[in-house]
Structure 1
Amino acid sequence: MKIYKSIIGALILMVSLSLTSCDEVEDINVGGSSVEKMSGDWWIIALQPDGVTPAYGGDYEQFSTYNTAANNGMMWVDDHGHWMEIKTQVDTDLDAMTFEGEDNADELITGGTVTVSNGVITKATYKTNSNTMVDEISFEAEFDWDPGTVYKFKGHKRTGFAEDENPHYSN
């Protein structure tokens, strides 16, 4: 009988502890970043100033746009050190979905400077190989290593679908 009382006592203790430890709290809304609707991963190609010829024979490279640590409406444009080597901060206009950088802004990969201008993102205007409508991005950039040459960058949002990975440029 003593064993049964001990078992029942232990069960009551476990049930009461589990009920008090399951205090439901509503989910915390952590919110998004200040540039959330312009952020993401992209497939972007750099073109010569004519807007057609790939710069230096290049092809699409993966870029990312994301908020700065200050979360103040500034955004990073970052190709992760691939090919054209651009990582710089730009100002955004979220209502117009546009962005541009300061003249001769710091470019963190090469240690040089870059001027980003005429940046724009359009919603659901590009059809990928998987027939998914995604956002398009375009901007211009002039680098200190090639002063006077304004390269045109254009591309589309990355879907992550296998058939959309590593796209190739054709004009």
Structure 2
Amino acid sequence: MRYIKLNIVAILLCLASAMAVTSCEDEGYDEYDAGATPTAALNGEWWINIADEATGQILIPHALHRTFDANNGKMYISDRFYGDTSPPLTYFGWELIAQVNPDVQNLAFSATDAFNEADESSVTITEGRVFPRGGRSQTGVVTDSIYFKAVFDYDPETVLIFSGHKRTGFIEDEY
């Protein structure tokens, strides 16, 4: 009985070893490069304060925004809560989902009359920049920071300033 158990264990070890060796082959994937998205240097989750440029008053504090690749040479800026799958959708900030033109080399972005998918308005975004190691989380962790101005077509006289820092993912840095 003891030899049967040892034989079964030996066979299982051989099978496991064979599977481990054959599952690690690179054949067929020689040219595959997962790489990164074109806008990776600008992408992330951001805690952003939204302020009125004229008064300096913070209208919305610590609104969670995301920047991510749009797979068409552009980048999205969004404050939508992506846990929602059906209306009414939840937004963290000013109801913004728009594609902007990234300038990855200069860590900049902008858009002129971009379609705002959140409310079907249009938005112009200027002076968009990401500053590496230019911000601090609420616990003092050094992070990247983001800044841009936005003007929505339904209120063309109001310039909103969006500024904040990259989300760290640490619980103590959440708002």
TM-score range, shorter chain: 0.7 to 0.9
Do the aligned partners of 2:137 and 2:143 also contact (CA within 8 Å) in 1?
yes
Q: Given the alignment of the two structures, is residue 19 of structure 1 paired with residue 17 of structure 2, yes or no?
A: yes
Higher strand share: 2
* 2:70 alignment partner, one of 63, 68, 71: 68
Amino acid at match of 1:62: L
Greater C-alpha radius of gyration:
1
The alpha-carbon deviation at position 149 of structure 1 amounts to 1.9
Helix, strand or coil for the counterpart of 1:104?
Answer: strand
**Structure 2 letter corresponding to 1:22:** A
CA distance in 2, matches of 1:11, 1:153: 62
The two structures, once aligned, show a CA RMSD in angstroms of 2.5
CA distance in 2, matches of 1:159, 1:123: 13
Q: Name 2:61's counterpart in structure 1.
A: 59
For residue 11 of structure 1, report the CA deviation from its aligned partner: 6.0
Match in the other structure for 2:38: 34
Unaligned runs of 5+ in 1: 167-171
Map Cα deviations across residues 123-155 of structure 1 (whole Å, 9 max, x no partner): 101222322111110001110121232211111
Inter-partner Cα distance in structure 2 for 1:69 and 1:34: 8
Cα 1:52–1:163 change in 2 (3 A) is farther
TM-score by length of 1: 0.80
Structure 2: unaligned runs, 5 residues or longer: 81-90
Report the equivalent of 2:92: 82
Aligned residue for 2:35, secondary structure, equals coil
Quote the Cα distance in structure 2 between the aligned partners of 1:49 and 1:8.
76
Q: Percent of pairs identical after alignment? A: 25
User: Given the alignment of the two structures, is residue 122 of structure 1 paired with residue 138 of structure 2, yes or no?
Assistant: no
Q: Is the 8 A contact 1:130 1:161 kept in 2?
A: no
Aligned residue among 123, 139, 144 for 1:135: 144
- TM-score (norm: length of structure 2): 0.78
Task: Measure the CA separation in 1 of the matches of 2:9 and 2:174.
Answer: 55
Q: CA deviation at 1:9?
A: 7.0
> Aligned residue for 1:169?
none
* 2:110 is the alignment partner of 1:110: no
